[in-house]
Structure formats: structure tokens, C-alpha cells
Amino acid sequence: MVGRVGPDTLRLTEAHRFPNRPVRLPSGLHWDVLGLYAGVLDGLRAAGRLARLDSVGIDSWAVDHGLLDADGALLANPVHYRDTRTEGVPERVWERLPPPELYARTGLQHAPFNTLYQLVAARHSAQLRAAKQVLLIPDLFTYWLTGTRGTELTNASTTQLIDPRTRSWSREVADRTGVDLGLFAPLRLPGTPAGSLLPAVLEETALTGPVPVTTVASHDTASAVVAVPAAAGERFAYICTGTWSLAGLELDSPVLTEASRRANFTNELGLDSTVRYLRNIMGLWLLQECLRAWGEPDAGPLLGAAAAAEPLRSVVDAGDPAFLAPGRMPDRIAAACRATGQPVPEGRAAIVRCVLDSLALAHHRAVEDAQRLSGRSVDVVRIVGGGARNALLCRLTADACGLPVVAGPAEASALGNVLVQARAHGGTGESLAGLRARVARTQPLSRYEPGGTTRAWRAAGQRLGLGQTPVAV
């Protein structure tokens, strides 16, 4: 994405888009990280044809990482967080550090893929033994582009090795779980310089140097939250919808209570001392995997049919890690409906409706739980990310929450990324509220008023036994 930022402009132009296809090897599910990096280089070349680049910033999904050897070479393709290698690992970690203490120290949700569990799972592997450095995915790309190494803070906060109160590594958690913090490069804050494109990169991309690389909020969700176009002082919840739905509140300090842990809320770090207090919900992954199973490249017609399908006929728990792994999604959804005594959706439109109803229900529960657990009420739900384009999902979310939904921008991660770079280079010291005001002034937004009552949604939640706060381990 090429971003142009001026006093009254904020514009993105898509320079290049490429697929991200994980590869299953006998050794597990991996990212094709060199293929992705080649896509980044193609993107830089295409971007250079559109504009002179003042800065480059990188964000991606969280938790995953590459291992480097003593020469700085990548030891293997990074493992995908949807791989099953961490099965049974959390239980081993909890023997040394019980869940309540782990949560009190890190504030992180329990997810089987947290970097901590991945590193413990790999403990006896030849690769981890040979590794001299762990770089999170955006930091790995930054390293290849610039030769500099760091660990960006918002993304580091998803490792389960950061204390959200000090916004630094938790030595205690690392020591007690046997993780070597020396493997991580020093922490870097969004907005700080990360070097400039290496001569070989300039040559490969036909760019003219110097092109500075700027650390952004490198966790895609953190960048997306930067671009939530809330007005100053507004009481808002946000839902970043894409492959995942990340639903919650922005806070100025973490909520580390036992009730919060049991509700499986996470305290990830955001820009400028903020805390992203949210819950991970499976998101449009459920739909993407159905489309993949059906060999259906385009969701459009099915979404139209789903809008006309019977509402709330069957719902599944969109927070259930049973949906984490890829494969056979329509069958797994049918099985979940059967297991909860609900009708199995018949036909593609009914399955899509079940997915969207289930997501809206999970959005509602997350927004409600976040308010209760943090003691902060909201008046509006902001939906950003790809799902902001999905009118049916936005309308159902408004209905389920009983609150107005304001949807947009869809490219929130890219906008948040660009804004942090622009602020760093403009030297304006603009506040987060100021950055958001720019988004609100420049990006088209859609508003959805809630319809009906929330009673039917509560009843649907009860069908799943979700009347009360879910209990994590």
C-alpha cells in the first residue's frame, strides 16, 4: 500500500497484492516466508512506480517468528500458529507457572499459539538449540530489508513474555518457563527508526536510496486500532474484523483480574501507552474456510442469499479453538450445531448465515464482557478491517449489541501503519486522537442503527450454554 499523508489528505493506493498460502509439510504447517518476502519486494518495486517513498513500515499477524543462526541466516520456514505442535504444551507450562499467576504477570489471553508455548514446544528441537535469535515476522522482514534487528513492542506483547504494567520483558515468566530472553533482539517502539533499505534491496526493487524504514505498530491489530476513527472523548468499543475478529476496548492500564482471565480477555499493548483489552474471536476465517472447502472464490452471491436466510436458526461458539485449524469447515460447523442440539444448516446460504449470526453473537458477548470487566461503558461499536465491507455482518453486529455500529475503514491496518510513519517523519508529535481525527475526516464510513431487541440474541447464546462468562482454564 502506498499512503499519502498531507494536512488534509490521507490516501491509500494499492500497489500490489499477493496470496499468502501456508504450506503443510510432514513436519507441520508452515508459512512460505520467502514467498511472502518476494511479495514484499514486488510490492516495493510497484510502490516505487507510484511515488517517491519517504518511509517504509511493516506490520503483520502476531505471535509467529523465525529463528536465526549465529550467522543471521534463517534456520527454517516459520511454523504457522494454526499448527498443532503446541497441543499439551500449555499444561506443561502451567505446572511451573499456574494460569492465574501467568495471567497476573502477562495479562495475555490463553491461546495455544502464544509465542511462549511455541518456544516451549520447540525446546528440544535441533533448530531452537541452534538458534541465536528469535525475530517476530514483521521484525524478520525489517531485518531482511535493513540488516537491523529489533523486537517491536506491540507485537512483542503477544508473546506472553511481556509484563503489560512495565511494558517490558517479564524475566520471571521467562525464567520459570525456561525461555531464553537473550534470543530476542532489543525492544523497539513504534515511531522509532529501523534503518534504511539495504543496497541489495534498492537494487532488487529499482528504488533510489536512501529509503528509511520506520518501526510502526507492527502487530496488524495494533495498527488497525490506531486507525479506529473515534472522536476525542468518545466511548467506543472496536472490532477489528478480518481473518480474526478482535473485539474490545482501548484502556490506559491493563485489567489483570481473575474474572478477566476466566473470560479469556487479553491485554495487548497499543500505540502511545495504550492497552488493547480484547478477545480473539474466530472471525471471517470461518467463512473463508467454508469458501475454500466449496471451491467458491467469491462470497458476494452467498452473502446476498444469507441475508435472506432464516436468522438465528443455528449458531456456533465463534470463540471455540476447535475452529482454529484449517480444513473441512462446513462439516465442523454442522457437527457443532448437532452437538448443541440445533438444526444442521442445510445449503451454503444457511451455513453462511450461521457463521455471520455466530460472529455477531460473539461480537456482542465480547463487547458486553469487556465493559463489565473493565468498568467502562460504551455508546458505539466501531468496526474496522475487511469485515467493515460486509454489510450483513455489520448490521447483525449492531442488532446483537443493541448499539450503533460505525463501519470503516476497511484498510485500517495499512492506515494505522502509514499514520505512525507520517507522525514520526513529520515530527509533529500528534496525539493518537489527532491521528484518528485524520481518519474520520478522510475515510468513508457507514453507520448501522440497531434493529429489534437483543432478546433473541441472548436466547441464541443460551442455546450454546454461553449465558455466562466463558471459563478459560
Which residues sit at the interface with ligand LFR, rule CB under 6 A? Answer: 61-63, 81, 219-221, 242-244, 246, 280
Q: Beta strands 23-25 and 28-30: pairing type?
A: antiparallel
3-state secondary structure of 3: strand
Q: Which is nearer to ligand LFR, 63 or 116 (CB)?
A: 63
CB 320 → ligand LFR: shortest distance, Å?
A: 15
- Which residues contact residue 189 at a Cβ distance below 8 angstroms, ignoring those fewer than 6 apart? 152, 153, 215
CB 336 → ligand LFR: shortest distance, Å?
A: 21
CB 230 → ligand LFR: shortest distance, Å?
A: 19
HSE toward the beta carbon, residue 57, CA cutoff 13 A: 31
HSE toward the beta carbon, residue 368, CA cutoff 13 A: 21
Rounded distance between C-alpha atoms, residue 311 and residue 399, angstroms = 12
Rounded distance between C-alpha atoms, residue 60 and residue 56, angstroms = 14
For residue 338, the Cα-to-chain-centroid distance in whole angstroms is 30
Q: Which of the following is catalytic: 220, 317, 357, 399? A: 220
Helices (H), 376-454: 391-401, 412-426, 432-442
> DSSP string covering 76-100, please?
SPPBPTTSSTTTTHHHHHHHHS-HH
CB 319 → ligand LFR: shortest distance, Å?
A: 12
Contact indicator for 410, 300 with CB cutoff of 8 Å: no
CB 81 → ligand LFR: shortest distance, Å?
A: 5
CB 28 → ligand LFR: shortest distance, Å?
A: 16
CB 76 → ligand LFR: shortest distance, Å?
A: 19
Q: Which is nearer to ligand LFR, 219 or 363 (CB)?
A: 219
Rounded distance between C-alpha atoms, residue 470 and residue 457, angstroms = 16
- Which residues contact residue 213 at a Cβ distance below 8 angstroms, ignoring those fewer than 6 apart? 55, 56, 57, 58, 142, 145, 146, 148, 193, 194, 195, 196, 197
Q: Which is nearer to ligand LFR, 2 or 278 (CB)?
A: 278
For residue 324, the Cα-to-chain-centroid distance in whole angstroms is 14
C-alpha cell at 438: 485524520
Q: Which is nearer to ligand LFR, 2 or 108 (CB)?
A: 108
54 catalytic per annotation:
no
CB 79 → ligand LFR: shortest distance, Å?
A: 12
Q: Which is nearer to ligand LFR, 60 or 342 (CB)?
A: 60
Element (DSSP H or E) covering residue 197: none
- Which residues contact residue 196 at a Cβ distance below 8 angstroms, ignoring those fewer than 6 apart? 146, 209, 210, 211, 212, 213
Q: Which is nearer to ligand LFR, 97 or 246 (CB)?
A: 246
Q: Which is nearer to ligand LFR, 30 or 176 (CB)?
A: 30
Q: Which is nearer to ligand LFR, 81 or 265 (CB)?
A: 81
C-alpha cell at 349: 446460504
Rounded distance between C-alpha atoms, residue 365 and residue 139, angstroms = 34
| Residue 240 bridge partners (DSSP) | 246, 384
How open is the CA angle 200-202-205, to the nearest 5 degrees? 105
Cite the active site residues.
Answer: 220
